[in-house]
Structure 1
Amino acid sequence: LWLHVWFFCFTWLRMVWLTFFCPVAEFPDSSAAGAETADSSRPAQPGDTLDIVCPCYNPNADFISHLACSLAELRGFYPDKRLHLIVANDGSSRNFGKEEHDQLLRTIPDAEIVDIPHGGKGAAIRAGLARSQAPFAIYTDIDMPYAKESMRQVIDRVFDGCDVVIAVRNASYHSKLPPMRKLMSHGSRMLNRFFLNTRYTDTQGGLKGLSPAARNVMLRTRIPDFLFDTEFIMLAERSKGLRIEEVETTLREGVVMSKMSGEVLVRELKNFFRIAFSV
């Protein structure tokens, strides 16, 4: 009982402090700060390359055909650009052996595969981005669950010179989530606002665009699991000169979101408080 009392007292005092002594209007304006560092990003030019980093762990058996189809659709939007795929294999134990490696390279000849020991989604994305040499990059899941128009909006913002583009999930996205993931999503936004004091509360969208400067910030993250996204946004928000924007996104039809166990929830709560204490 006393644990609950102290927790709610602390939360209430935190809310009062944020409301009356640290209003959102006083937060640094990241878009204005972006103008201070002209060399942190630039608009895209014909012939530029965008690296698409996809972490992969025990994917579906038919993931290659779906990935190739989604990539072809995205490339159709940008005939004057080069969209380069980097797949970061996070130590998969099934559906990503030598046969799948060879099939992926036959289907998408210019794809690049990065193999690492299993370390979590955050570790896989960092490994993929470490290979990226392009002036622009995005990362998303191996099944590319977002609608193509949503992905196009994110890529367009990156090409326009934005440093960090955050995919914000709309109501239709949340309606497709299992109850536990829906609870985690809303709980994450509340915790981000109350404890991390950030204006960008929807950090777990799984689709983000990055400039070279933002990529360097991502490579400084250390959380191995899902909350690497939150750690990245906190670091980016506190990095001088980064222009950060949000884009409302939706899932494509037919996507079924996986469930998350209580064990994952406990592990991610630990990671959250690691981030909170570091801030």
Structure 2
Amino acid sequence: MSGRAVSLVMPAYDSATYVDENVGKVLEFFRRADIDGEVIVADDGSTDGTAEAIRTDPNVRVLRLPHRGKGAAVRAGMAAANGDIRAFTDGDLPYGMEPLPLALSYIRERRYHAVIGDRTLPGSAYESTGVLRRAVSELASFSFRTLVTGGIYDTQCGFKVFRGDVAAEIFRLTRIDGFAIDVELIYLLLKYRLDLKRIPVRLERNAPSSVHVLRDSTAAFRDIATIRRNWSTGKYRSPVLTRLLQDELRADVEEAADRIGAIGRPGRSSG
């Protein structure tokens, strides 16, 4: 398959009852927006026939994977992607397609290397959940932000969009197989000082969440220790990202110099 404008990866686990409907929503969005896009469903070892439930379509690919977790599924999907822009969102489309046009515009304009959904921003809407579930979730999210990203970002929002060249390298660097891959990605984006844009999202969950808050949060805390250790031991070292940023800085400096030179050149007088 030749390169596409947009690749959208959807990790899915035991999603047979709704995944094909959501794939259809993405394809309809691509059609209406006249986008040459592909959907990659990364089936994380489902046992309910998720892969078989997905339509056969030239713009849809299904990856049948062993059950290792969301992180491993997203990483496999991104490794298979070939879009100029590469995004992922959960298989239940919890935020619909509403935030995607804005995210795509930011990436196309080359203003940012990545765009992420942030449920804490004005304009976002979040579902009302049980008191215990909400409390554990918010405590975990606060801890992730404090330990990894300086208390700034909503790390766990399952909507992230990347420039294709950045996605190819940053997902190659990732090591986390579980839900904490979201934390790992933001950690790497910040450590490499890549340009990151947050946008509001409105939760419109279409299916029950597969997240077990207490169990998955406990695992994520262990993963955070792994992330920090990986950075300190050089496992995330990337000459590719370093060179990419150096090249972009050099291009920006040259462009600024050209503009200054144009301002300083006297206009040609008429005869």
TM-score with structure 1 setting the length:
0.71
1:18 aligned residue: none
SS of residue in 2 equivalent to 1:186? helix
Tell me how far 1:74 sits from its aligned partner.
4.4
Match in the other structure for 1:222: 175
Structure 1: where are the runs of 5+ without partners?
1-46
Cα drift, residue 258 of structure 1:
4.9
Q: Which residue of 2 aligns with 1:163?
A: 113
Deviations 1:72-94 (A, max 9, x none): 03431x21x31111111111111
State how far apart, in whole Å, the 2-side matches of 1:263 and 1:253 are. 21
Partner residue, 2:48: 94
Matched, 1:56 2:9: no
1:131 is aligned, of 80, 87, 99, to 80
**1:187 aligns to what?**
139
Q: Which residue of 2 aligns with 1:234?
A: 187
The structure with more radius of gyration: 2
Q: CA RMSD in A?
A: 2.5
The one-character-per-residue Cα deviations of 1:131-168 (angstroms, maximum 9, x if unpaired) are 11121111001121214322322222222222111100
Query: How far off its partner does 1:123 sit?
Result: 0.3
Count matched residues.
225
Within-5 A mapping of 1:185-264: 185-198=137-150, 200-215=152-167, 216-240=169-193, 242-252=194-204, 256-258=208-210, 260-264=212-216
Paired with 1:237 and 1:128, the residues of 2 have a C-alpha distance of 23
CA contact (8 A) 2:10 2:89 kept: yes
Cα distance change on mapping 1:202 and 1:157 into 2, 3 Å: same
1:82 to 2:32 alignment: no
Q: Distance in 2 between matches of 1:253 and 1:217?
A: 28
| % same residue | 24
Does structure 2 retain, via aligned residues, the 8 Å contact 1:48–1:135?
A: yes
Q: State the Cα distance separating 1:115 from its structure 2 match.
A: 1.6
Per mean C-alpha deviation after superposition, the further-off stretch among 157-166 and 228-237 is 157-166
Do residues 140 (structure 1) and 89 (structure 2) align?
Answer: yes
Q: Is the 8 A contact 1:167 1:249 kept in 2?
A: yes
What do residues 21-52 of structure 1 show as CA deviations (whole Å, max 9, x unaligned)?
A: xxxxxxxxxxxxxxxxxxxxxxxxxx961000
Q: Aligned partner of 1:135: which letter?
A: D
> 2:85 aligned with 1:113, yes or no?
no
Q: What are the superposed Cα offsets for residues 172-226 of structure 1, whole Å, 9 maximum, x if unpaired?
A: 6433344444234422342234322536421110000011243111221111110
2:203 alignment partner AA: L
- Bigger relative contact order, structure 1 or 2 (CA pairs below 8 A, ≥6 apart): 1
Give distance in 1, aligned partners of 2:202 and 2:42.
24
Give the C-alpha shift of residue 254 in structure 1. Answer: 5.6
> What amino acid does structure 2 have at the position aligned with 1:263?
R
Say if 1:176 and 1:257, in contact at 8 Å, map to a contact too. Answer: no
Shift of the 218–90 alpha-carbon distance from structure 1 to 2, 3 Å rule, reads: same
